[in-house]
Structure 1
Amino acid sequence: MQRELGYKANMMVGDQCYPAFELRNLLSFITQHLGGSVAADTYQKIGLGPQELNAMQFVYVWQVEFAMEVLRTSSKDPEIGARLGTSYQVASLDVLLPFFDKFTALNECLQFVIKNPDLAGSFADTLIRFDETKLWVRWVNTGKVDAEKFSFQFQHSVCALLGVARQLVDIPINIDEIHFAQPQCDMPFLSHETGANIIFDCDFYEWGIDIALLSTPLAFQFEQNTTDAIVPDGVSFIDKVLNDIRLGMPKPPKLEQLAEKQHMSDRSLRRKLSAAGTSYQKLVDQVRCQAAINLILADELTVEEISEALGYGDVSHFRQSFKHWLGHPPGHFLRINQAN
């Protein structure tokens, strides 16, 4: 496998495009496990109907995230995210199928999924790393997501990727290790389903798989009438805001300036961002945090120089902000991500 080590700023928020197959599978799972009335209420609150959703290739991130929160908070099962992940079927991954159909080995599918969050979906930034025998996918919580919610999303992703991989090849596949940045707890379903050694109280959520397995050739028989490749059409409002923030770095525009540029009032801008499940300050923090990670991992500038490049007048303020974002000060973050 081509070893592309590095940080992938894949986290998606608000009204950015997310594959509709995710939401269809999620609502089907909610219907089966929580009942039709909960599913109907969820459809109503995300502003979609079943027939409308079935005709769509893309939805909004906030709609998927809302439905996931309905499942997580309504279920008493701490492993419900893992169970959701195992329910995926390759045939339902509509926008991914034209691409998968052209690949010959499992590693190509994994690389495509990691590089194309708009087509595969992603709730977290990732760090891809290798040791002598394993590929590791490390989740980085740049969005300061609640720990229980982040764990749910992580379990869902691990089991979905593994379940799809098992359908694509004709040999048994397990994950070697799964690391949780949370205290010890029982996860019998996840352990049995993945075959992994699960380790708690780690610095990050991450999973590792034997590199040799990723060269396994695909054996799945795709339908002959696979549709042409489709990509999201248009740029979301959140994308525009993020782009304006990035262009303004190291001094991002004030909310009032951005509202004026978008020809709306400050209040309207706040409402629009809130409706998408975010806020202006969260988006500024996301841009700063992602930029800081890239600069820290490049290991070409001192912390003082990075602090100045990101617009901080005081390096101690930058250190505090970074620790608030990721739970580790910049120097420690670099050490634990260089050592592997």
Structure 2
Amino acid sequence: MPRTNPQLADTDQKQLLHSHEIQLMIRELVEQQAMPLELILEDTGVSARSLENPSLRLTLEQELALYKRIASLNKDPLLAHKIGVKLGLPNYGILGYAMVASSTLRDALQLMVEFAPLVSWASHSVLTQEVYGGQACLCLTIHPTPSDKLTSELEVESTFASLQTVFNELVAEPVTFARVTYSHPCRLPDSQPYDALFQCPVDFSESRNCLYFSKAALAQRLPHAQPEHASLLKDLCAETLISLRQDRGLVAAIKAYIDGYEPGMPSLDETADYFHQSSRTLRRHLQAQGLSFRSLIDESRYSAAKRYLSATNLTVEIIGKTLGYADVRSFRTAFKRWSGMPPAAYRGSH
């Protein structure tokens, strides 16, 4: 049943798909590829402790940093494909409920494209009318977020596998695309795993990343369509997207303010005054993003500490004092919690 509490739906949706997706990928690297967690998280701004939080919500910068890190370390060419299959409608939050309430598969697809940032903040997709195999098709083209090759491949493969799962769940039976194309080459000896999932022609090294839908497939009526709720859920998606954009912008501005504050670090009250808000309101905006003021301070301190340790000869004592710590022991404890190693060891390895 679709949720009818706008406040609940709005809060839940702000945990974007990638937070869960990336956690599954990290778990796969650690458990199946024996990759140390500290190595995966290095230079991403995400701590091992934060990953234990079930309501983790990544900032855009953290999401991209982790995606790039996972792509560069991964040794399994099917990692994203296998993880994507596990990401169904529940991972799409309020957008998933709106798609379920749609009348046809085409309506659900158009909703997904319209509100794509609710699934992946920075990537985007386009729908075009095209012809394949002599028949008119609707073509969904995915433009991934990252610019580097490996990370783009990771995102596209996970997205396509996830969409197969999502559309199967929407129709309550397997949905067969007319064609699937990837712009990257196949990293396996053959495309059998892809053929088995999609059950349609799958082509690699093409000009675009596309899913082709036949008109017959798009015309399928959805078994759980709820026209009386569809409009309300679409409005909730729109409200959530507006709120998400506002909160993303505010978080970026707060981070810039903290990074530029000298000397030391600003207090919550000082930051709230700067943005003409009460401390309580500012804290609520951050909580909506799964963040806290303390986490932003720690992120800024960690970034600055790494910069000082790798690019200057300042002592650990002076760096700790510069970052606002009362004593060097507190700084050492915090840095080890962030990076998994003491400041001196980090400096030696960089």
Compute the TM-score of the two structures, normalised by the length of structure 1: 0.54
What's the counterpart of residue 176 of structure 2?
174
- 1:55 paired residue number: 55
1:217 equivalent in alignment to 2:218: no
* 104 and 21 in structure 1: CA distance in 2 versus 1, 3 angstrom threshold: same
Which residue pairs with 1:69 in the alignment? Answer: 68
Larger Rg: 2
1:153 aligns with 155
What displacement does 1:159 show? Answer: 0.9
* Separation (CA, whole Å) in 1 of partners of 2:184 and 2:91: 32
Shift of residue 239 of structure 1?
10
Deviation at 1:216, TM superposition (A): 1.9
- Cα deviation digits, residues 24-63 of structure 1 (max 9, x gap): 24313432453298585457842462454x336x532232
Equivalence for 1:308: none
User: Is contact 1:79-1:187 (8 Å) kept?
Assistant: no
CA contact (8 A) 2:64 2:146 kept: no
Q: Could you tell me how far 1:98 is from its partner in structure 2? A: 4.0
User: Within the alignment, does 1:136 sit opposite 2:139 as a pair?
Assistant: yes
1:25 and 1:140 map into 2 onto residues whose CA distance is 18
* 1:123–1:153 CA contact under 8 A, matched in 2: no
CA distance in 1, matches of 2:185, 2:92: 34
Distance 1:29 1:238, change over 3 A: same
- SS of 1:126's partner is strand
Asked if 1:207 corresponds to 2:211, the answer is yes
Per the TM alignment, residue 206 of structure 1 is displaced from its structure 2 partner at its CA by 1.9
RMSD: 4.1
Instruction: Give the corresponding residue for 1:46.
Output: 46
Which of 8, 15, 23 is matched with 1:27 structurally? Answer: 23
Report if aligned partners of 2:100, 2:170 keep a CA contact under 8 Å in 1: no
Indicate if the aligned counterparts of 1:167 and 1:220 stay in contact, CA closer than 8 A. Answer: no
Q: CA deviation at 1:173?
A: 0.9
Please state how far the C-alpha of 1:22 moved relative to its aligned partner.
2.7
Match of 2:88 in 1: 89
Identity %: 11
Superposition map of 1:1-340 within 5 A: 19-32=15-28, 34-35=30-31, 41=38, 45-47=45-47, 49-50=50-51, 52=53, 54-55=54-55, 58-131=57-130, 132-140=135-143, 145-183=147-185, 185=187, 186-219=190-223, 231=240, 232-233=243-244, 234-237=246-249
Instruction: List per-residue Cα deviations over 1:202-240 (Å, max 9, x = no partner).
Output: 222222122321222223599x9xx97671442434998
* Structure 1 residues 98 and 144: alpha-carbon distance in aligned structure 2, compared to 1, 3 A threshold: closer
1:79 Cα deviation after fit: 2.3
C-alpha separation in 2, matches of 1:28 and 1:220: 29
Q: What is the aligned partner in structure 2 of residue 328 from structure 1?
A: none
Tell me the residue number matched to 1:251. Answer: none
Residue identity in the other structure for 1:27: Q
Give the count of matched residue pairs. Answer: 228
Q: What letter corresponds to residue 136 of structure 1 in structure 2? A: C
1:123 Cα deviation (Å)?
A: 4.6
CA displacement, residues 123-154 of structure 1 (integer Å, 9 cap, x when unaligned): 5343321124311122346x671222212211
What does the per-residue CA deviation read over 1:245-304, in whole Å, with 9 as the maximum and x for residues that have no partner? xxxxxxxxxxxxxx99x9889xxxxx99xx8xxxxxxxxxxxxxxxxxxxxxxxxxxxxx
Residues 150-178 of structure 1 show CA distances to partners (whole Å, capped at 9, x for unaligned) of 12211111111111111121232122222
- Structure 1 unaligned segments of length 5 or more: list them: 1-16, 242-258, 266-270, 276-340
**Following the alignment from structure 2 to structure 1, what is the Cα–Cα distance between the partners of residues 172 and 37?**
38
Letter in structure 2 aligned against 1:135: L
Change (3 A) 1:18 1:147: farther
Q: 1:49 to 1:144 in 2, by over 3 A?
A: closer
Q: Is the 8 A contact 2:171 2:221 kept in 1?
A: yes
SS of equivalent residue, structure 1 residue 129: strand
Partner SS for 1:46 = coil
Separation in structure 2 between the aligned mates of residue 122 and residue 158 of structure 1, nearest angstrom: 16
TM-superposed CA distance for 1:120, in Å, is: 1.6
Asked whether the 8 Å contact 1:124–1:140 carries over to 2, the reply is yes
Match of 1:305 in 2: none
